[in-house]
């Protein structure tokens, strides 16, 4: 049986194609609401899992998968619409591919599974990515005057994305250092 937090995470994962479709068809108000609802669902499933000791092995994978799928997909869709700079979309997608690829590489080289506990800089990066997506969707959907906040968030997101990617590289180099020694 699927736990309540896992069900909520699965529902969030299933919102990804809807959010993308809403963005590419220029239904930005609806996309804003779907994105915000997905964010709220993430907080709710985390609260339930912790408060009621409902953590599961499946949840350790499906929750971050749903989060990453939503963020990356929304960034790609906003990039395709010209609402986010292409270079930022590429940077965000590359960082996530780097994280997954690095974990697979470490596993292959060491035959050990790396714990994918998020680093503090990665948590900050996720916050920046979410704030930027919300700001852009609010601006496009409701004509919200962000007074240049989105531009500042673009650079804050880029900086935290680059720092987070670099931090993971350092973690993996340390994790594989023993493999390269004869």
Residue 178: pLDDT band (50, 70, 90) is: low
DSSP result, 32-57: HHHHHHHHHHHHHHHHHHHHTT---H
Q: What is the pLDDT of residue 93?
A: 98
Residue in 122, 5, 15 with CA at minimum distance from that of residue 61: 5
Mean pLDDT value across residues 131-160: 96
Q: Which domains does the chain have, with CATH numbers?
A: 4-180 (1.20.120.1760)
pLDDT at residue 182 tops 60: no
Model pLDDT for residues 38-52, shown as the tens digit of each residue: 999 999 999 999 999
What is the distance between the alpha carbons of residues 5 and 16, in angstroms, rounded to a whole number? 17
CA distances from 46 to 41, 59, 80 (A): 8, 10, 31
pTM, entire model? 0.92
Closest CA to 91 of 106, 79, 81: 79
């Amino acid at each position: 049986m699927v736990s309540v937090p896992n069900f909520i995470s699965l529902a969030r994962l299933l919102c990804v194609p809807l959010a993308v479709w809403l963005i590419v068809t220029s239904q930005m108000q609806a996309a804003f609401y779907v994105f915000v609802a997905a964010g709220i669902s993430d907080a709710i499933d985390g609260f339930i899992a912790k408060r009621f000791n409902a953590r599961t092995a499946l949840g350790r994978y499906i929750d971050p998968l749903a989060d990453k799928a939503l963020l990356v997909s929304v960034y790609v869709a906003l990039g395709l619409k010209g609402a986010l700079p292409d270079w930022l979309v590429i940077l965000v997608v590359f960082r996530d591919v780097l994280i997954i690829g690095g974990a697979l590489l470490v596993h292959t080289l060491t035959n050990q599974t790396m714990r994918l506990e998020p680093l503090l800089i990665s948590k900050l990066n996720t916050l920046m990515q979410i704030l930027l997506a919300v700001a852009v969707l609010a601006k496009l959907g409701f004509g919200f005057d962000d007074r240049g906040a989105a531009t500042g968030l673009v650079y804050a997101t880029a900086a935290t994305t680059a720092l987070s990617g670099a931090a993971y590289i350092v973690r993996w180099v340390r994790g594989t250092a023993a493999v390269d020694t004869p």
